[in-house]
Amino acid sequence: MAKISSRGEIVETSGELPELGSKAPDFALRKADLSPVALADYAGTRLVLNIFPSIDTPTCAKSVRQFNERAAALPNTRVLCVSADLPFALGRFCGAEGIDNVETASVYRSPAFGRDYGVYMADGRLGGLLARAVVVVDEHGKVIHRELVPEIAQEPDYDAVIAAL
């Protein structure tokens, strides 16, 4: 288990992020329109997994906006923003914000994602949600960058993600 903090409170996650160079764990999530999405849907492209607790918090919303601007402009790269929010909330946010360069997906039917990626927060006030993390997967399904943000209110290192791409 990894340890992060949430406003000073120590929180344990369900495990560790996938190792660099390892094959990214498969997933079966739901997009804003409730259609299924899996890792295989991104075969041949680079994938940024922007993982966070809830779109309805300032830092999570900012990360979606930032990735919409930064990583989405890179060639052969897609960004999937993943949270435990219902697909409707993710769709509402992106529609209201005019965000169309990233995709969103919910784990509401797929609790295995949090465990497989080591980001399920096992305890604390946000227990049951996902920790803030970024995992970058190359065209062959290998993990080429990973970051578990140590404080839940802190933004990920966008520059490190771009550099990995």
Q: Which residues are catalytic?
A: 60
Establish how many alpha carbons lie within 13 A of residue 11's alpha carbon, considering only the half-sphere containing its beta carbon: 30
Any idea which residue has 């209110």 for tokens?
Answer: 153
Token digits of residue 24: 């990214």
CB 87 within 8 A of CB 104: yes
Supply angle C-alpha 62, 156, 109, rounded to 5.
Answer: 75
